[in-house]
Structure 1
Amino acid sequence: MKNFVKGRNDTSLRETIKEYIDAAESQDTEITSVSAHERTLISNILKLRDHTVGYVMIPRADIFGIDINTSKEELLSILAEKQHSRIPIYRGTLDDIVGTIHIKDIMACIAESRPVEMENLVRDVPIISPSMQVLDLLLMMKQMRKHMALVVDEFGGIDGLVTINDIIESIVGEMEDEYDQGEEPVIIENGNGSILIDARYDIEEFEEKYGKILSEEEREDNDTLGGLVFEIAGRVPARGEILSHHSGMIFEVIDADPRRVNRLLIKNIPLPEPS
């Protein structure tokens, strides 16, 4: 790396790092010790510098919030169903945001036999412009110790929501917890030999079903088909994007959002080698 960047004072650090990544991808023998996964992480961070919060935000239509006048019983029922730790609180409509509420504050009231009064539990939430840079928002969240921000449009209406997890997932890929498992990943085999498959589908299970197709490095670096597609593209591919694998397989992204791939159509699956 030192030899690679030596004498490059006339270029920015960012440009130098990008050249370093490009050289690593071209298999320059001096710098191939950097794994594909590490190159992807670095590349994603550099790309975020060019993106505003619209790239990572959850759109208004997908925001879940609670009216401040919701009863305690209904509130607890909603929290048990949605399993969010932080939820936007509004008065009347989503455009009249009061703040956010944290489930641990509610649980503290219950544990101490205090009344659950949302007016007293609401925390301030940053209101940001859609033109704000993603990395600037990440820094602001860190400084303010906030995990959520709301994006407003030019008329002051709520346009979207961003959590710190959304930003991190745009760098490292989807992170699931025990509540994200839900239903088993779905796979549908079509008559033409293609398959419609959940991007969460486990790579080992895929190869048990369709034979050894991937390289050892791909197996080590990825757990799911979504992770493999992420690696091939070097980023989160967009809906409708088509990607080729060295085995001859074709991945078409059927469903995706800025943070993750959700569903894939796989074509040209190689026939298993005869045993």
Structure 2
Amino acid sequence: MAGFLLLLLSALTSGAEAAFFSLSEQEIARCKTSTKKSELLVYSLLQQPRKLLTNILVLNNGINVGIITLFAYVAWQLYGTTSLPAGALIACLLFVTFLIVFCGEVLPKVYAQKKRLDIARRTAPFLRALQTITSPLSQLLMAISGHIEKHYMIRGYNHTIEDLHHNLDVALTNEDSSPEERRILRGVVNFGSITVRQIMRPRIDMEAFSTSATLPQLLPQIVKWGYSRIPVYSESMDKIEGILYIKDLLPYLAETAGFNWQQLIRPPFFVPETQRISDLFQDFKEKHVHMAIVVNEYGTTSGLLTLEDIVEEIVGEINDEFDDDDDIIYSQLDENTYIFDGKTSLHDFCKITEVPFDAFNEVKGDNETVAGLMLALFSNIPRVGQATSYGRFHFTIESADLKRVKRVKINVATKKENYHKVG
């Protein structure tokens, strides 16, 4: 009975370890804002992941030692001596090892992957209660490991995204490489760090139908825009009711103005601005949808993003017969000088000029466009002809009005050169 109880505790701690450290960012964020005490406790424990892991390992290994000791005692009682025959000793070790590894490690960890949040909620109070028992030993182990890490560990893997870009550029600088190959590899490297807000189509550029429109009013717009999926709103763009798939409308093109086309719209898929496109790509595959409506922290519509937009971050622009070639409006005057439309996203600018995507993180604030960057650098709406510099970049306002920056000339210096900021 004692052996079964210890084995159950071993499985419980192993499952808790797998559950806690496999939670996704969305699940952790849910625990942070939850009103349930168990989920808040999960989030609290994860704020000190190293301490949590050490406590779990101390507890788990203590239980496993107890299992081995118990089986050794049982074997001694069966044979009536502490000097076991070699065959019996090997058989006992193999049996105990199988029980610990299969029943105490493999099975609970496999199960925990499927119900990780549920298991984390159920085991959180248990782990918090046992921390008082394991803390003295875990703190000693953490102090020893911290000392070893500080004085003896070799730090050879702290590479930044810029380091990876540089290494890629060096590796591909040969006669067989091409800018397209380098662009694809840069897209792969950055894929996990790009947020929805960086590449979405902003609200001002969104095309959408009002639920009050009639079918004859829709058809000219469908032909003009050439989209296969179009958002549908009521009252304003902040109230997206769904997505109209044009293929669903095809059988009803001959209907009159009284036709209730609104019955064809499909439910919208909303995502936050801060979500990573790698996570959204997985959501698209799981939910079998190709378009997401992006909302900000207040729940208002910020823009939209499609599956094609995400794929283009790796393979480059995918143009069909309906796409305009000037979606990203810019011209290149020479090797280092460009003129960009103000509404061009900073992400697209960095991709085109092949500079690090974090080049403006320190100054851009919440802005994600070239025009927004100008407002941050000038601290006002600049006039035509005004210029300023930041790092390797020299900006000159080519066109602007009283409300916004329309076009900017940007000179990108080589890495050996550097501009000073001027007014």
Identify the TM-score tier after normalising by the shorter chain.
0.5 to 0.7
Match of 2:195 among 52, 69, 72: 52
Match of 2:312 among 163, 169, 187: 169
Match of 1:72 among 209, 215, 218: 215
1:112-123 aligned at under 5 Å gives the runs 116-123=259-266
1:131-150 aligned at under 5 Å gives the runs 131-150=274-293
| Residue 26 (str. 1) matches residue 175 (str. 2) | no
Residue 137 of structure 1 deviates from its aligned partner by 0.5
AA in 2 matched with 1:55 = Q
Distance 2:394 2:222 in 1: 37
| Residue 156 (str. 1) matches residue 299 (str. 2) | yes
Contact preservation (8 Å) 1:94, 1:158:
yes
Distance 2:236 2:183 in 1: 40
TM normalised by structure 1 equals 0.58
Distance 1:130 1:121 in 2: 27
Residue 151 of structure 1 deviates from its aligned partner by 1.3
Contact preservation (8 Å) 1:98, 1:124:
yes
Q: Once superposed, what is the RMSD of the aligned Cα atoms?
A: 4.6
Structure 2 counterpart SS, 1:139: helix
AA in 2 matched with 1:23 = N
Residue 98 of structure 1 deviates from its aligned partner by 0.9
Distance 2:172 2:308 in 1: 34
Question: How many residues of Structure 1 are paired with residues of Structure 2 in the alignment?
Answer: 212
Contact preservation (8 Å) 2:183, 2:316:
no
Residue 169 of structure 1 deviates from its aligned partner by 2.2
Structure 2 counterpart SS, 1:170: helix
Structure 2 counterpart SS, 1:49: helix
Structure 2: unaligned runs, 5 residues or longer: 1-154, 342-347, 360-368, 375-388, 399-406, 412-423
Identical residues among aligned pairs (%)? 27
Q: Which residue of 1 aligns with 2:352?
A: 230
The structure showing larger relative contact order (alpha-carbon pairs under 8 Å, at least 6 residues apart) is 1
TM normalised by structure 2 equals 0.40
AA in 1 matched with 2:221 = I
Distance 1:195 1:119 in 2: 45
1:96-107 aligned at under 5 Å gives the runs 96-107=239-250
Question: Higher strand share goes to which structure?
Answer: 1
Structure-2 change in CA distance of 1:142 and 1:170 (3 Å): same
Distance 1:182 1:25 in 2: 27
Structure-2 change in CA distance of 1:11 and 1:68 (3 Å): farther
AA in 1 matched with 2:245 = H
Structure 1: unaligned runs, 5 residues or longer: 1-9, 199-225, 245-249, 256-262, 268-275
Q: Which residue of 2 aligns with 1:223?
A: none
AA in 2 matched with 1:54 = R
